[in-house]
């Protein structure tokens, strides 16, 4: 009798494979779901961080002259042994080491004193160099990342005013317009004019033409050129008004050279900065002290050179230095002093000169270190200016942006040691890092802020972070 049930023959060869494939599909889908879940959780976490973070401000619409110090050389003959434009070109590596972003040079054009008819804007004075030398200087400067700004003040050697007389302003301004195009074709990145007050008020239509030629971008000149003015007025209200009415990109003035002691101290600095920052973008502010005719060391004294170097390099705006301010060059008589270059050997220097050169090297090293810090740190370039303390001898402020490190700059003009800040300030941490100090006995490193004191006629720059 035959059994009606099928005989059992065991699993087929295909069954294990089918089971394995099913298991693998399940594992793969489970893994994909886990990955997606982790991705969603990460996204939620990032959104929470973004929502809790303070709003990030966009970088300001800055230009090249906002990104580093400017270096002013009015008389090219005093800058090198050759006493001409070739000598200036040979020092471009030196200027690059100072983190200089722009060289303000001249005037160098032909301008017989007090003679408007003999004015030649497009011709270089023969005792200063040649056009080929100037073109070579421009080329070398651009390779080093340095823009050249030309002082085209018309009557720079005369005594009847920088623009001759009122009767000649219109004639001179008309003559100037074609010269601006000529020099921009040679690679000049901007212009400086003395007597901005007089020209912008006396011939406003011509001044507008001058502004448009310099400041407007064209297809052939896509980069922005700087228009700089120079005012002799030391009133902060006048400087503020002229900044608005003239439309210059930067305005040099003797604001910081007009303090109660002959130069700016805590009160004058704070008043100037707060007044101008309240009405103008810091991108339009420029700070200088000695000016073209007086050097920093002569204006404030050798002991305060590094204090004012630190001040100019940490204020909101563009610092402008006269040649030699980085080494404490002093004026002697009425003629501009010859630039001091570090001797290759000290074997011929007596003890007094060796001490002097040690001080100059110290000033130069300090200038380089702070300038290098300024050009790379956003708070020092574009950060807000927050005063901390101000007295008859002490000034301190914080430069801060919404991200990264913050910098506290402190200056003691007094003859006695001063307490930097009161301990326990909520907006300041207990520990700060010393990154620059005019006091060579104070080494870099972390210090207790509440216990920190600043010595007489000393200044320091501190760095800290707020979580």
Is 77 a domain residue? yes
Q: Residue 424 above 50 pLDDT?
A: no
Distances (CA, A) of 432 to 168, 398, 406, 446: 58, 13, 10, 5
Domain boundary among 380, 408, 428: 380
Q: Mean pLDDT, to the nearest integer, of 447-463?
A: 91
Burial class (CB in 10 A: 0-12, 13-18, 19+), 42: exposed
CATH of the domain at 411: 2.60.40.1180
Token duo for residue 449: 């802020």
**CA–CA dist 315, 309 (Å, integer):** 10
| Whether residues 74 and 209 fall in one domain | yes
Q: What is the CATH number of the domain that holds 152?
A: 3.20.20.80
Domain coverage including residue 358: 64-380
| pLDDT higher at 32 or 336 | 336
pLDDT in tens, 375-405: 999 999 999 999 998 888 999 999 998 777 8
Q: What is the pLDDT of residues 174-210, one digit of tens each?
A: 999 999 999 999 999 999 999 999 999 999 999 999 9
Report yes or no on whether pTM surpasses 0.75. yes
Check residue 450 and give its pLDDT. 82
Domain shared by 102 and 176, yes or no: yes
CA distance 64 to 376: 13
End position of a domain, from candidates 329, 364, 380: 380
Residues 100 and 240 in one domain: yes
Last residue of a domain, one of 380, 395, 410: 380
Query: Do 333 and 399 fall into the same domain?
Result: no
Residue 1 has pLDDT above 80, yes or no: no
359/452 same-domain check? no
CA nearest to 314, candidates 191, 442, 417, 460:
460
Q: Would you state the torsion angle of the CA atoms of residues 233, 235, 237, 242, taken in this order, to the nearest 10 degrees?
A: 10
pLDDT in tens, 252-283: 999 988 665 667 889 999 999 999 999 999 99
CA–CA distance, 75 with 185 (Å, rounded to integer): 23
Same domain flag for 290 and 375: yes
- Asked whether residue 251 is assigned to any structural domain, the reply reads yes
Number of separate domains in the chain = 2
Q: Cα 307 to chain center, whole Å?
A: 17
- Tokens 């074997």 belong to residue: 347
367 vs 29, higher pLDDT:
367
Residues 369 and 406 both lie in one domain: no
pLDDT value at 345 more than 70: no
The pLDDT confidence band at residue 53, using thresholds 50, 70 and 90, is very low
Peptide bond into 107 cis (omega under 30): yes
Q: Is 236 among the domain residues?
A: yes
Task: Identify whether 2 is part of a domain.
Answer: no
Whether residue 186 is found in the same domain as residue 331: yes
pLDDT confidence of residue 51: 45
């Amino acid at each position: 009798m035959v059994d009606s049930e099928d005989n059992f023959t065991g699993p087929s060869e295909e069954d294990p494979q089918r089971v394995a494939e099913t298991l693998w599909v399940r594992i793969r889908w489970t893994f994909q779901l886990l990955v997606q879940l982790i991705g969603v959780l990460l996204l939620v976490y990032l959104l929470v961080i973004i929502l809790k973070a303070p709003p990030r401000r966009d970088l300001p619409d800055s230009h090249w002259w906002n990104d580093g110090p400017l270096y002013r050389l009015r008389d090219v003959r005093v800058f090198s042994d050759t006493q001409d434009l070739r000598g200036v070109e040979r020092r471009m590596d030196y200027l690059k080491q100072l983190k200089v972003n722009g060289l303000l040079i001249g005037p160098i054009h032909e301008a017989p004193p007090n003679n408007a008819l003999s004015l030649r804007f497009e011709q270089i004075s023969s005792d200063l160099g040649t056009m080929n030398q100037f073109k070579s200087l421009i080329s070398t400067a651009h390779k080093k990342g340095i823009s050249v700004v030309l002082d085209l003040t018309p009557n720079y050697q005369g005594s009847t005013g920088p623009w001759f007389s009122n009767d000649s302003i219109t004639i001179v301004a008309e003559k100037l317009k074609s010269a601006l195009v000529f020099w921009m074709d040679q690679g000049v990145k901007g212009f400086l004019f003395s007597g901005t007050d007089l020209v912008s008020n006396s011939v406003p239509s011509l001044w507008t033409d001058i502004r448009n030629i310099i400041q407007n971008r064209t297809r052939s000149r896509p980069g922005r050129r700087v228009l700089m003015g120079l005012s002799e007025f030391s009133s902060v209200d006048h400087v503020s008004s002229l900044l608005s009415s003239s439309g210059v990109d930067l305005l040099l003035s003797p604001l910081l050279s007009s303090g109660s002691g002959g130069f700016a101290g805590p009160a004058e600095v704070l008043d100037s900065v707060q007044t101008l920052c309240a009405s103008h973008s810091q991108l339009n502010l420029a700070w200088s002290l000695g000016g073209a005719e007086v050097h920093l060391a002569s204006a404030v004294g050798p002991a305060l050179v590094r204090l004012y170097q630190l001040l100019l390099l940490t204020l909101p705006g563009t610092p402008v230095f006269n040649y030699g301010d980085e080494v404490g060059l002093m004026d002697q008589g009425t003629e501009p002093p010859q630039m001091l270059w570090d001797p290759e050997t000290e074997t011929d220097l007596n003890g007094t000169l060796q001490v002097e050169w040690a001080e100059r090297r110290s000033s130069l090293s300090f200038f380089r270190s702070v300038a290098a810090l300024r050009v790379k740190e956003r708070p020092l370039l574009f950060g807000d200016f927050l005063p901390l303390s101000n007295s008859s001898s002490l000034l301190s402020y914080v430069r801060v942006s919404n991200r990264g490190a913050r910098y506290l700059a402190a200056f003691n003009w007094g003859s006695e040691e001063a307490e930097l800040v009161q301990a326990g300030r909520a907006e300041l941490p207990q520990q700060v890092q010393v990154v620059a100090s005019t006091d060579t006995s104070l080494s870099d490193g972390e210090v207790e802020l509440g216990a920190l004191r600043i010595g007489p006629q000393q200044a320091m720059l501190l760095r800290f972070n707020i979580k």
